[in-house]
């Protein structure tokens, strides 16, 4: 029985990373039934029936102190010794500047023990200024790398990373589409203050055209934003009924909430990816290149001035569907690595 170790930003109450983790576990279990899967996180919620680091250490595991960083790396090294395949998954892990991220050391340690080391659904390009050679060397040391965006693919081509596979974001093939409800519910999910003034103006304009506003807090740092947003909406549209869906580890609750929306306005990439996969029109603030890359991939462009009816019509005419065959790609070309 193959023993898999999954490493990523899991169990930190971030909807996008936890959704990615669920999709990855699902793909492994479907491709290799009975596999032994360990998730390097400290959350009993995210386990989904597989092994994980004890939740008793949760607060310490999530801390950004130096002792916690040392603890995490010691635990990761121990887990590597008890695995056959190490999979680093999700987001910008190869570009992170956080002091406790020691991926190069961990990868070298795993390879020295003869373990296979894969990365999937990652963004490796474009790297930060002066970081290209370091990131390229790190990625070339992997047995297989599955990238999720065009910039990362171009980076791999430019730096002769021959083990590359374009896997898209795993959530694109994990979520089943549902019937779009052309009702009176607007969903909003933002990054606190990380969005443009133009986007905020578009949201306030849309608020006046919907009866129900659902605010989605998709990560642990969004609670203050939710409070401020309720105050803004109340002052702008006093008749609007506001409700909150706060992500506490249950991705299904968020997906059900998004599916009930007629339109979603978000600066969160996985708020947009989940909406797209569910079949719900959305507006995505392009605060980061990864957001622009996703919009380009699905042939969708923002129109902050359009009325909802025109957005719905544009959505049906222009957005690219169906989803790319992520499941086949990952199971055959990625997980099938020898």
Q: Choose the CATH number for 178-318 among 3.30.110.60, 3.40.50.970, 3.30.360.10, 3.40.50.2000.
A: 3.40.50.2000
| pLDDT-derived band at 47, boundaries 50, 70, 90 | low
Q: Which helix (H) or strand (E) holds 5?
A: strand 3-7
Q: What is the pLDDT of residues 158-169, one digit of tens each?
A: 999 988 888 888
Greater pLDDT, 198 or 141 = 141
Provide the token pair at 124: 């490796």
Which residue in this structure is represented by tokens 């065009």?
Answer: 150
Of these ranges, 94-98, 203-207, 332-336, the one predicted with the greatest mean pLDDT is 203-207
| pLDDT-derived band at 184, boundaries 50, 70, 90 | confident
Q: What is the pLDDT of residues 107-121, one digit of tens each?
A: 999 999 999 999 988
Q: What percent of the chain shows pLDDT beyond 70?
A: 83
Q: Which of 338, 174, 196 is nearest to 270 (CA)?
A: 174
Given a cut of 60, whether residue 232 has pLDDT beyond it is yes
CB 290 within 8 A of CB 125: no
Res 101: pLDDT = 55
Q: What is the pLDDT of residues 199-219, one digit of tens each?
A: 878 887 888 888 888 989 888
Lowest mean pLDDT among 18-27, 35-44, 323-332: 323-332
Res 255: pLDDT = 95
Q: Which helix (H) or strand (E) holds 86?
A: strand 85-91
CB 200 within 8 A of CB 229: no
CATH code, 3-173+325-334: 3.40.50.2000
Q: What is the pLDDT of residues 317-326, one digit of tens each?
A: 888 765 566 6
pTM above 0.95, yes or no: no
Give the pLDDT mean for 116-143: 85
In the chain, CATH 3.40.50.2000 covers 3-173+325-334, 178-318
Given a cut of 60, whether residue 125 has pLDDT beyond it is yes
Residues 313, 316, 320, 324: is their CA dihedral positive or negative? positive
Give the pLDDT mean for 177-182: 76
Instruction: Give every CB contact of residue 254 below 8 A, 6+ residues apart in sequence.
Output: 15, 216, 218, 245, 247, 274
Task: Give the CA distances from residue 17 to residues 48, 78, 90, 252, 277, in Å, rounded to whole numbers and listed in that order.
Answer: 14, 23, 6, 14, 16
Res 222: pLDDT = 65
Res 158: pLDDT = 92
């Amino acid at each position: 029985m193959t023993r898999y170790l999954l490493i990523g930003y899991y169990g930190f109450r971030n909807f996008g990373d936890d959704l990615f983790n669920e999709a990855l576990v699902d793909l492994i279990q479907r491709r290799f039934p009975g596999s032994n899967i360990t998730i390097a996180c400290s959350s009993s919620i995210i386990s989904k029936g597989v092994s994980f680091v004890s939740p008793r250490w949760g607060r310490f595991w999530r801390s950004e102190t130096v002792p916690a960083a040392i603890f995490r790396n010691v635990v990761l090294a121990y887990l590597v010794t008890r695995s056959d395949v190490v999979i680093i998954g999700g987001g910008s892990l190869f570009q992170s500047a956080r002091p406790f991220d020691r991926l190069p050391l961990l990868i070298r340690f795993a390879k020295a023990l003869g373990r296979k080391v894969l990365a999937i659904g990652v963004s490796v390009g474009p790297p930060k200024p002066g970081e290209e050679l370091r990131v390229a060397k790190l990625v070339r040391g992997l047995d297989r790398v599955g990238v999720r965006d065009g910039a990362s693919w171009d980076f791999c081509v430019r730096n002769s990373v021959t083990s590359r596979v374009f896997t898209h974001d795993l959530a694109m093939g994990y979520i089943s589409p549902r019937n779009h409800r052309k009702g009176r519910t607007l969903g909003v999910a933002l990054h606190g203050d990380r969005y443009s003034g133009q986007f905020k103006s578009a949201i306030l304009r849309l608020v006046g055209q919907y009866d129900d506003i659902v605010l989605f807090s998709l990560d642990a740092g969004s609670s203050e934003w939710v409070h401020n947003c309720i105050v803004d909406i109340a002052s702008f549209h006093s008749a609007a009924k506001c409700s909150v869906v706060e992500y506490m580890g249950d991705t299904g609750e968020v997906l059900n909430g998004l599916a009930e929306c007629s339109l979603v306005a978000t600066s969160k990439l996985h708020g947009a990816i989940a909406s797209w996969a569910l079949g719900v029109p959305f507006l995505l603030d392009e605060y980061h290149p990864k957001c622009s890359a996703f919009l380009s991939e699905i042939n969708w462009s923002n129109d902050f001035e359009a009325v909802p009816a025109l957005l719905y019509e544009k959505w049906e005419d222009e957005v690219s569907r169906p989803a790319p065959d992520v499941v086949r790609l990952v199971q055959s070309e990625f997980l099938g690595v020898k």
